[in-house]
Amino acid sequence: MLTQIDPKLSALADALSVPDGGFSIVAATGEYVTSGYAVSIYPERERIITGGVTGEDLADYLREHADALTLPGRVFGGWRDPASGAAFLDVSVTTRDLPTALALARAHGQLAVFDFAALTSISTDAAGLPAAA
């Protein structure tokens, strides 16, 4: 698992320096997730950083949440909210289905899901999309 400061963590931190910037990787391998929708499902593991993010911040998060990040289907995510400017680090899952992603996000109190095809966030309150049951 990526837990030491290395160029990959520095590059991931740099991805959080711009509005709506972010990443989703498989923590055990460092491979980028490239399809489907990412959803944070552990709000209690979310870390919010209001300033800049460093590779050390990411390494600390990975060490602290290794138990959840090693579960099958879990990924390490980071996102810079364009509205607030805050960076969010989390443990996420990915799904291929947008309605499922939005329902999971709403159930876990999330602001958005990330669409890998469009490379953008989709708000959980996006107009015209079905509300969670």
Mean pLDDT of 77-91: 92
Q: How confident is the model at residue 13 (pLDDT cuts 50, 70, 90)?
A: very high
pTM over 0.85: no
**What DSSP string runs through 45-114?**
G-EEESS---HHHHHHHHHHTHHHHTSTTEEEEEEE-TTT--EEEEEEEEES-HHHHHHHHHHTT-SEEE
Q: Is 14 helix (H, G, I), strand (E, B) or coil?
A: helix
Q: Residues 6 or more apart from 79 whose CB is under 8 A from it?
A: 16, 20, 21, 22, 87, 88, 90, 112, 114, 121
pLDDT of residue 132 exceeding 90: no
Contact 4, 62 (CB under 8 A): no
Q: How confident is the model at residue 1 (pLDDT cuts 50, 70, 90)?
A: low
Domain definitions of the chain by residue range:
7-123
- Dump pLDDT digits (tens) for 23-76: 999 988 889 999 999 999 998 999 999 999 999 999 999 999 999 999 988 999
